[in-house]
Homo-oligomer: A and B are copies of this chain.
Amino acid sequence: MTTHPMTRPLALSADPIAATCPAPLAENERVLLGHGSGGQLMAELLADLTPRLGTPALDDAAIVVTGRPEIVLSTDSFVVTPRFFAGGDIGSLAVHGTVNDVAMMGARPVALSLAYIVEEGLPLEELRLVTASVARAARACGVPVVTGDTKVVGRGAADGLYLTTTGVGVRLPGACVSASQAQPGDLVLLSGPIGLHGVSILSTREGLGFDSEIASDTRPLHRLVATMIAAGAQDVHVLRDPTRGGLASALNEIATASSVGIELEESSLPVPAQVAAACEVLGLDPLHVANEGCLVAFVAQEAAGRVLRAMRRLPEGARAKLIGRACDAHHGRVVMRTLVGSRRIVDMLVGEQLPRIC
Protein backbone atom coordinates (compact mmCIF):
# COMPACT_ATOMS: atom_id res chain seq x y z
CA MET A 1 0.00 0.00 0.00
CA THR A 2 1.33 3.46 -0.86
CA THR A 3 1.57 6.30 1.65
CA HIS A 4 -0.89 8.46 -0.19
CA PRO A 5 -2.68 10.81 2.24
CA MET A 6 -5.91 8.95 1.73
CA THR A 7 -4.67 5.65 3.06
CA ARG A 8 -5.00 6.70 6.68
CA PRO A 9 -8.77 7.21 6.81
CA LEU A 10 -9.13 4.01 4.81
CA ALA A 11 -7.23 2.03 7.38
CA LEU A 12 -9.33 3.50 10.16
CA SER A 13 -12.69 2.70 8.69
CA ALA A 14 -12.09 -0.91 7.75
CA ASP A 15 -9.40 -3.50 8.17
CA PRO A 16 -7.44 -3.42 4.90
CA ILE A 17 -6.08 -6.91 5.43
CA ALA A 18 -9.54 -8.34 5.88
CA ALA A 19 -10.81 -6.49 2.84
CA THR A 20 -8.16 -7.77 0.48
CA CYS A 21 -7.46 -11.27 1.81
CA PRO A 22 -10.63 -13.27 2.31
CA ALA A 23 -10.56 -15.09 5.62
CA PRO A 24 -10.28 -18.84 5.25
CA LEU A 25 -13.61 -20.51 5.79
CA ALA A 26 -13.83 -22.92 8.70
CA GLU A 27 -14.56 -26.56 7.99
CA ASN A 28 -17.83 -26.59 9.85
CA GLU A 29 -19.25 -23.37 8.39
CA ARG A 30 -22.39 -23.59 6.37
CA VAL A 31 -23.29 -21.77 3.22
CA LEU A 32 -25.12 -18.54 3.97
CA LEU A 33 -27.27 -16.43 1.73
CA GLY A 34 -24.45 -13.93 1.65
CA HIS A 35 -22.21 -16.46 -0.08
CA GLY A 36 -24.16 -15.78 -3.24
CA SER A 37 -24.39 -12.04 -2.86
CA GLY A 38 -21.68 -10.86 -5.25
CA GLY A 39 -20.10 -9.20 -2.26
CA GLN A 40 -17.45 -10.01 0.28
CA LEU A 41 -18.75 -13.32 1.54
CA MET A 42 -18.99 -14.57 -2.01
CA ALA A 43 -15.41 -13.52 -2.68
CA GLU A 44 -14.46 -15.60 0.34
CA LEU A 45 -16.39 -18.58 -0.87
CA LEU A 46 -14.83 -18.35 -4.34
CA ALA A 47 -11.38 -17.92 -2.87
CA ASP A 48 -12.07 -21.14 -1.01
CA LEU A 49 -13.53 -23.09 -3.92
CA THR A 50 -11.48 -21.90 -6.88
CA PRO A 51 -8.21 -23.57 -5.95
CA ARG A 52 -10.12 -26.83 -5.51
CA LEU A 53 -11.20 -26.56 -9.10
CA GLY A 54 -7.63 -26.26 -10.27
CA THR A 55 -8.49 -23.17 -12.31
CA PRO A 56 -6.95 -19.72 -11.82
CA ALA A 57 -10.23 -17.88 -11.36
CA LEU A 58 -13.96 -18.36 -11.76
CA ASP A 59 -14.69 -15.15 -13.65
CA ASP A 60 -18.01 -14.28 -15.25
CA ALA A 61 -16.67 -15.22 -18.66
CA ALA A 62 -13.57 -16.80 -20.14
CA ILE A 63 -11.71 -17.23 -23.39
CA VAL A 64 -11.53 -20.63 -24.98
CA VAL A 65 -8.88 -20.66 -27.66
CA THR A 66 -9.49 -22.91 -30.65
CA GLY A 67 -8.67 -22.75 -34.32
CA ARG A 68 -11.61 -24.84 -35.47
CA PRO A 69 -14.71 -23.43 -37.16
CA GLU A 70 -17.29 -25.87 -35.78
CA ILE A 71 -17.96 -25.20 -32.10
CA VAL A 72 -20.27 -27.52 -30.16
CA LEU A 73 -22.17 -26.28 -27.10
CA SER A 74 -24.04 -28.48 -24.62
CA THR A 75 -25.60 -27.84 -21.22
CA ASP A 76 -27.08 -30.00 -18.46
CA SER A 77 -28.34 -29.38 -14.97
CA PHE A 78 -27.68 -32.05 -12.36
CA VAL A 79 -30.14 -32.58 -9.53
CA VAL A 80 -29.29 -36.17 -8.63
CA THR A 81 -30.21 -37.49 -5.23
CA PRO A 82 -28.37 -38.77 -3.31
CA ARG A 83 -25.44 -36.56 -4.25
CA PHE A 84 -22.95 -39.28 -3.36
CA PHE A 85 -23.49 -42.78 -4.65
CA ALA A 86 -21.56 -45.92 -5.47
CA GLY A 87 -19.28 -45.06 -8.38
CA GLY A 88 -19.51 -41.27 -8.29
CA ASP A 89 -21.21 -38.14 -7.07
CA ILE A 90 -23.03 -35.12 -8.47
CA GLY A 91 -19.70 -33.44 -9.28
CA SER A 92 -18.16 -36.19 -11.38
CA LEU A 93 -21.55 -36.86 -12.95
CA ALA A 94 -21.89 -33.21 -14.00
CA VAL A 95 -18.53 -33.33 -15.73
CA HIS A 96 -19.02 -36.69 -17.40
CA GLY A 97 -22.57 -35.90 -18.45
CA THR A 98 -21.63 -32.75 -20.30
CA VAL A 99 -18.36 -34.09 -21.68
CA ASN A 100 -20.37 -37.02 -23.06
CA ASP A 101 -23.09 -34.83 -24.56
CA VAL A 102 -20.43 -32.85 -26.41
CA ALA A 103 -18.71 -36.05 -27.48
CA MET A 104 -21.98 -37.49 -28.82
CA MET A 105 -21.91 -34.68 -31.41
CA GLY A 106 -18.65 -36.15 -32.69
CA ALA A 107 -16.73 -33.41 -30.97
CA ARG A 108 -13.73 -33.05 -28.72
CA PRO A 109 -14.74 -31.21 -25.53
CA VAL A 110 -12.41 -28.28 -24.86
CA ALA A 111 -13.92 -26.35 -21.94
CA LEU A 112 -16.65 -26.49 -19.33
CA SER A 113 -18.59 -23.93 -17.34
CA LEU A 114 -20.08 -24.73 -13.96
CA ALA A 115 -23.04 -23.06 -12.24
CA TYR A 116 -24.03 -23.88 -8.68
CA ILE A 117 -27.44 -23.41 -7.13
CA VAL A 118 -26.94 -24.00 -3.45
CA GLU A 119 -29.48 -24.21 -0.67
CA GLU A 120 -28.69 -22.09 2.32
CA GLY A 121 -27.47 -24.35 5.07
CA LEU A 122 -25.60 -26.85 2.93
CA PRO A 123 -22.49 -27.87 4.81
CA LEU A 124 -19.59 -26.09 3.22
CA GLU A 125 -17.61 -29.27 3.44
CA GLU A 126 -20.01 -30.97 1.14
CA LEU A 127 -19.67 -28.17 -1.37
CA ARG A 128 -15.93 -28.55 -1.17
CA LEU A 129 -16.11 -32.29 -1.71
CA VAL A 130 -18.30 -31.84 -4.75
CA THR A 131 -16.06 -29.11 -6.12
CA ALA A 132 -13.02 -31.32 -5.67
CA SER A 133 -14.83 -34.09 -7.47
CA VAL A 134 -15.65 -31.73 -10.36
CA ALA A 135 -12.01 -30.75 -10.55
CA ARG A 136 -10.81 -34.34 -10.44
CA ALA A 137 -13.18 -35.45 -13.14
CA ALA A 138 -12.38 -32.45 -15.33
CA ARG A 139 -8.68 -33.09 -14.96
CA ALA A 140 -9.09 -36.76 -15.81
CA CYS A 141 -11.03 -35.73 -18.90
CA GLY A 142 -8.45 -33.13 -19.86
CA VAL A 143 -11.27 -30.57 -20.11
CA PRO A 144 -10.87 -27.49 -17.89
CA VAL A 145 -13.67 -25.70 -16.06
CA VAL A 146 -13.07 -22.15 -17.26
CA THR A 147 -15.93 -20.12 -15.81
CA GLY A 148 -18.69 -20.43 -13.27
CA ASP A 149 -21.50 -18.97 -11.25
CA THR A 150 -22.81 -19.42 -7.75
CA LYS A 151 -26.31 -18.74 -6.53
CA VAL A 152 -27.60 -19.39 -3.05
CA VAL A 153 -31.29 -19.76 -2.35
CA GLY A 154 -33.07 -19.90 1.00
CA ARG A 155 -33.74 -23.02 3.02
CA GLY A 156 -36.40 -25.03 1.36
CA ALA A 157 -35.91 -23.37 -2.04
CA ALA A 158 -33.62 -26.12 -3.33
CA ASP A 159 -32.67 -29.59 -2.19
CA GLY A 160 -29.09 -28.95 -1.16
CA LEU A 161 -27.20 -28.45 -4.38
CA TYR A 162 -27.82 -28.35 -8.09
CA LEU A 163 -25.11 -28.04 -10.71
CA THR A 164 -25.32 -26.95 -14.32
CA THR A 165 -22.37 -27.71 -16.55
CA THR A 166 -22.02 -26.44 -20.09
CA GLY A 167 -19.43 -27.73 -22.47
CA VAL A 168 -17.81 -26.31 -25.57
CA GLY A 169 -16.22 -28.64 -28.07
CA VAL A 170 -14.82 -28.70 -31.55
CA ARG A 171 -16.04 -31.16 -34.14
CA LEU A 172 -13.62 -33.96 -34.90
CA PRO A 173 -12.36 -33.98 -38.49
CA GLY A 174 -14.86 -35.64 -40.77
CA ALA A 175 -17.43 -36.29 -38.04
CA CYS A 176 -21.03 -35.91 -39.18
CA VAL A 177 -23.03 -37.77 -36.54
CA SER A 178 -26.61 -36.88 -35.76
CA ALA A 179 -29.64 -38.68 -34.33
CA SER A 180 -31.25 -38.35 -37.77
CA GLN A 181 -28.39 -40.01 -39.69
CA ALA A 182 -29.18 -43.67 -39.00
CA GLN A 183 -29.49 -45.63 -42.28
CA PRO A 184 -31.30 -48.90 -42.90
CA GLY A 185 -28.62 -51.58 -42.69
CA ASP A 186 -26.58 -49.77 -40.05
CA LEU A 187 -25.42 -51.99 -37.23
CA VAL A 188 -26.12 -50.92 -33.68
CA LEU A 189 -23.14 -51.07 -31.32
CA LEU A 190 -23.31 -50.65 -27.56
CA SER A 191 -20.13 -49.79 -25.67
CA GLY A 192 -20.86 -51.54 -22.39
CA PRO A 193 -23.37 -52.98 -19.92
CA ILE A 194 -26.60 -51.15 -19.20
CA GLY A 195 -28.58 -50.26 -16.10
CA LEU A 196 -25.76 -49.69 -13.66
CA HIS A 197 -26.28 -45.99 -12.97
CA GLY A 198 -30.00 -46.11 -12.38
CA VAL A 199 -29.90 -49.22 -10.20
CA SER A 200 -26.99 -47.81 -8.20
CA ILE A 201 -28.83 -44.54 -7.51
CA LEU A 202 -32.07 -46.26 -6.64
CA SER A 203 -30.34 -48.74 -4.43
CA THR A 204 -28.41 -46.06 -2.54
CA ARG A 205 -31.48 -43.88 -2.23
CA GLU A 206 -33.81 -46.56 -0.98
CA GLY A 207 -31.25 -48.38 1.11
CA LEU A 208 -31.92 -51.57 -0.78
CA GLY A 209 -28.48 -52.98 -0.24
CA PHE A 210 -27.65 -53.52 -3.90
CA ASP A 211 -25.17 -50.68 -3.70
CA SER A 212 -22.42 -52.90 -2.37
CA GLU A 213 -22.53 -54.85 -5.62
CA ILE A 214 -23.57 -52.26 -8.16
CA ALA A 215 -21.76 -49.02 -8.92
CA SER A 216 -22.78 -46.32 -11.36
CA ASP A 217 -21.05 -46.54 -14.71
CA THR A 218 -20.45 -42.75 -14.77
CA ARG A 219 -17.38 -42.12 -16.91
CA PRO A 220 -16.25 -39.92 -19.79
CA LEU A 221 -16.69 -41.27 -23.29
CA HIS A 222 -14.97 -38.61 -25.39
CA ARG A 223 -11.84 -40.66 -25.94
CA LEU A 224 -13.93 -43.60 -27.06
CA VAL A 225 -15.74 -41.32 -29.51
CA ALA A 226 -12.46 -39.97 -30.85
CA THR A 227 -11.26 -43.53 -31.40
CA MET A 228 -14.46 -44.48 -33.20
CA ILE A 229 -14.41 -41.41 -35.43
CA ALA A 230 -10.78 -42.07 -36.26
CA ALA A 231 -11.73 -45.62 -37.26
CA GLY A 232 -14.42 -44.41 -39.67
CA ALA A 233 -15.54 -40.81 -39.54
CA GLN A 234 -18.04 -41.10 -42.38
CA ASP A 235 -19.29 -44.49 -41.23
CA VAL A 236 -20.34 -43.54 -37.71
CA HIS A 237 -23.82 -42.13 -38.33
CA VAL A 238 -25.28 -41.77 -34.84
CA LEU A 239 -23.78 -41.55 -31.39
CA ARG A 240 -25.90 -41.38 -28.28
CA ASP A 241 -25.41 -41.94 -24.57
CA PRO A 242 -28.59 -43.52 -23.22
CA THR A 243 -28.97 -41.59 -19.97
CA ARG A 244 -32.41 -40.59 -18.62
CA GLY A 245 -35.01 -42.86 -20.15
CA GLY A 246 -32.46 -45.60 -20.76
CA LEU A 247 -31.45 -47.42 -23.93
CA ALA A 248 -35.08 -47.86 -24.98
CA SER A 249 -35.78 -44.13 -25.06
CA ALA A 250 -32.54 -43.32 -26.85
CA LEU A 251 -33.24 -45.90 -29.55
CA ASN A 252 -36.81 -44.73 -29.98
CA GLU A 253 -35.63 -41.17 -30.45
CA ILE A 254 -33.14 -42.28 -33.06
CA ALA A 255 -35.73 -44.43 -34.84
CA THR A 256 -38.07 -41.45 -35.03
CA ALA A 257 -35.44 -38.87 -35.96
CA SER A 258 -33.96 -41.09 -38.69
CA SER A 259 -37.24 -42.66 -39.86
CA VAL A 260 -35.89 -46.16 -39.60
CA GLY A 261 -36.93 -49.24 -37.73
CA ILE A 262 -34.59 -50.77 -35.19
CA GLU A 263 -34.30 -54.48 -34.42
CA LEU A 264 -32.63 -55.60 -31.22
CA GLU A 265 -31.53 -59.04 -30.12
CA GLU A 266 -32.37 -59.56 -26.47
CA SER A 267 -29.69 -62.24 -26.25
CA SER A 268 -27.10 -59.61 -27.16
CA LEU A 269 -28.08 -57.05 -24.55
CA PRO A 270 -25.44 -56.76 -21.87
CA VAL A 271 -27.50 -56.61 -18.69
CA PRO A 272 -25.29 -57.44 -15.70
CA ALA A 273 -26.70 -60.18 -13.48
CA GLN A 274 -26.98 -57.82 -10.50
CA VAL A 275 -28.85 -55.28 -12.59
CA ALA A 276 -31.20 -57.94 -13.87
CA ALA A 277 -31.80 -59.17 -10.32
CA ALA A 278 -32.39 -55.67 -8.97
CA CYS A 279 -34.74 -54.81 -11.83
CA GLU A 280 -36.65 -58.01 -11.16
CA VAL A 281 -37.14 -57.04 -7.54
CA LEU A 282 -37.97 -53.43 -8.33
CA GLY A 283 -40.21 -54.12 -11.28
CA LEU A 284 -38.06 -52.13 -13.68
CA ASP A 285 -37.13 -52.78 -17.29
CA PRO A 286 -33.34 -52.54 -17.65
CA LEU A 287 -33.92 -50.93 -21.03
CA HIS A 288 -35.52 -47.97 -19.26
CA VAL A 289 -32.89 -47.59 -16.60
CA ALA A 290 -30.47 -44.65 -16.90
CA ASN A 291 -26.83 -45.10 -17.87
CA GLU A 292 -23.99 -42.61 -17.53
CA GLY A 293 -21.05 -44.42 -19.02
CA CYS A 294 -22.04 -46.20 -22.20
CA LEU A 295 -22.94 -45.15 -25.71
CA VAL A 296 -24.91 -46.58 -28.56
CA ALA A 297 -23.68 -46.09 -32.13
CA PHE A 298 -25.19 -46.66 -35.54
CA VAL A 299 -22.38 -47.61 -37.90
CA ALA A 300 -22.38 -48.51 -41.58
CA GLN A 301 -22.34 -52.29 -41.85
CA GLU A 302 -19.08 -52.49 -43.78
CA ALA A 303 -17.24 -50.44 -41.14
CA ALA A 304 -18.85 -51.88 -38.02
CA GLY A 305 -16.23 -54.58 -37.44
CA ARG A 306 -13.42 -52.05 -37.68
CA VAL A 307 -15.16 -49.60 -35.36
CA LEU A 308 -16.00 -52.34 -32.87
CA ARG A 309 -12.39 -53.48 -32.71
CA ALA A 310 -11.26 -49.90 -32.16
CA MET A 311 -13.78 -49.50 -29.32
CA ARG A 312 -12.59 -52.65 -27.59
CA ARG A 313 -9.06 -51.35 -27.39
CA LEU A 314 -10.14 -48.79 -24.77
CA PRO A 315 -11.22 -49.77 -21.23
CA GLU A 316 -14.54 -47.92 -21.61
CA GLY A 317 -15.25 -49.91 -24.78
CA ALA A 318 -13.73 -53.23 -23.77
CA ARG A 319 -17.12 -54.88 -23.60
CA ALA A 320 -18.56 -53.22 -26.70
CA LYS A 321 -20.86 -55.42 -28.75
CA LEU A 322 -23.31 -55.62 -31.58
CA ILE A 323 -26.88 -55.49 -30.29
CA GLY A 324 -29.03 -54.93 -33.36
CA ARG A 325 -29.54 -53.21 -36.68
CA ALA A 326 -31.52 -50.48 -38.36
CA CYS A 327 -34.01 -51.57 -41.01
CA ASP A 328 -36.29 -50.08 -43.62
CA ALA A 329 -39.47 -51.27 -41.89
CA HIS A 330 -41.67 -50.32 -38.89
CA HIS A 331 -40.21 -46.84 -39.13
CA GLY A 332 -39.91 -45.06 -35.81
CA ARG A 333 -40.25 -48.33 -33.90
CA VAL A 334 -37.85 -50.44 -31.90
CA VAL A 335 -38.57 -54.15 -31.89
CA MET A 336 -36.72 -56.76 -29.87
CA ARG A 337 -36.38 -60.43 -30.67
CA THR A 338 -36.69 -62.00 -27.24
CA LEU A 339 -34.82 -64.93 -25.81
CA VAL A 340 -37.78 -67.20 -26.52
CA GLY A 341 -37.91 -66.07 -30.12
CA SER A 342 -40.96 -63.82 -29.98
CA ARG A 343 -40.88 -60.15 -30.84
CA ARG A 344 -41.86 -57.32 -28.57
CA ILE A 345 -42.02 -53.60 -29.05
CA VAL A 346 -39.54 -51.62 -27.02
CA ASP A 347 -41.29 -48.38 -26.08
CA MET A 348 -39.92 -45.16 -24.74
CA LEU A 349 -40.13 -44.70 -21.02
CA VAL A 350 -43.49 -43.17 -20.25
CA GLY A 351 -43.87 -41.10 -17.14
CA GLU A 352 -41.20 -41.04 -14.51
CA GLN A 353 -39.33 -44.13 -13.49
CA LEU A 354 -36.88 -42.60 -11.11
CA PRO A 355 -36.80 -38.85 -10.58
CA ARG A 356 -33.52 -37.02 -10.08
CA ILE A 357 -31.38 -39.76 -11.54
CA CYS A 358 -28.83 -37.21 -12.80
**Contact A153 to B164, CB < 8 A, known contacts A6-B330, A33-B355, A115-B77:** no
Q: In the bound complex, do residue A343 and residue B77 qualify as a contact, i.e. CB atoms below 8 Å apart? A: no
Residue A227, interface by CB 8 Å: no
Residue interface bits A315-358, CB-to-B below 8 A is 1, else 0: 00000000000001111110100000001110111111101100
- Confirm or deny: A245 has a beta carbon within 8 angstroms of a beta carbon on chain B: yes
Contact assessment for A352 and B166 in the assembled complex, using a CB-CB cutoff below 8 Å: no
Each complex incorporates copies of this chain amounting to: 2
* Contact across chains for A60 and B164 when beta carbons are under 8 A apart: no
Residues of B within 8 A of A233 (CB): none
A72 adjacent to B64 (CB under 8 Å):
yes
Contacting residues, chain B, for A256 (C-beta < 8 A): 20
Are the CB atoms of A20 and B77 closer together than 8 Å?
A: no
Measured CA separation A105–B164 after assembly (Å):
21
The answer to whether residues A32 and B347 also contact, given A4-B330, A61-B72, A113-B73 and a CB cut-off of 8 A, is no
With beta carbons under 8 angstroms apart, the residue of B2, B40, B350 that contacts A331 is: B2
A32 to chain B, nearest CB (A): 7
Asked if A39 meets B75 with Cβ closer than 8 Å, knowing A70-B63, A152-B355, the reply is no
Q: Which partner residue on chain B sits nearest A156 by CB separation?
A: B156
**Is A296's beta carbon under 8 Å from chain B?**
no
Residue with the greatest number of chain B CB neighbours at <10 A, chosen from A1, A79, A147, A166:
A166
Distance in Å: Cβ of A25 to nearest Cβ of chain B? 15
Residues of B within 8 A of A352 (CB): 32-34, 36-37, 39, 41
Within 8 A of B (CB), among A33-79: 33-34, 36-43, 59-67, 69-79
Tell me, in angstroms, the Cα distance from A349 to B335 when the chains sit together. Answer: 61
User: Are A179's CB and B40's CB within 8 A?
Assistant: no
A residues touching B (Cβ–Cβ < 8 Å)? 1-2, 4, 6-7, 9-10, 13-14, 16, 19-20, 32-34, 36-43, 59-67, 69-79, 101-102, 104-105, 107, 111, 113-117, 146-149, 151-154, 156-159, 162, 164, 166-169, 171, 179, 243-246, 249, 253, 256, 261, 288, 290, 328-333, 335, 343-345, 347-353, 355-356
Given B10, B168, B290, B345, which contacts A345 in the complex, CB threshold below 8 Å? B10
**Pairwise interchain contact B37-A164, C-beta atoms closer than 8 A:** no
Smallest beta-carbon distance A301→chain B, Å: 19
Is the beta-carbon distance between B153 and A79 smaller than 8 angstroms? yes
Q: In the assembled complex, which residues on chain B have CB atoms less than 8 Å from the CB atom of A76?
A: 60, 115, 149
Q: Given A156-B156, A330-B10, A352-B37, verify A70-B65 contact (CB < 8 Å).
A: yes
In the bound complex, CA of A144 to CA of B330 (Å):
36
Q: In the complex, which residues of chain B have a beta carbon less than 8 angstroms from the beta carbon of A4?
A: 261, 329-330
For A160, the closest partner residue in chain B by CB is B157
Q: Is the CB of B345 within 8 A of A14?
A: yes
B332 in contact with A19 (CB, 8 Å): yes
Q: Is the CB of B39 within 8 A of A348?
A: yes
Pairs A–B under 8 Å by Cβ, sample size 22 = A2-B330, A6-B335, A7-B333, A9-B343, A14-B347, A16-B332, A32-B352, A37-B355, A38-B349, A62-B72, A63-B70, A63-B72, A66-B69, A66-B71, A74-B147, A76-B115, A77-B116, A77-B117, A77-B151, A117-B164, A153-B162, A154-B355
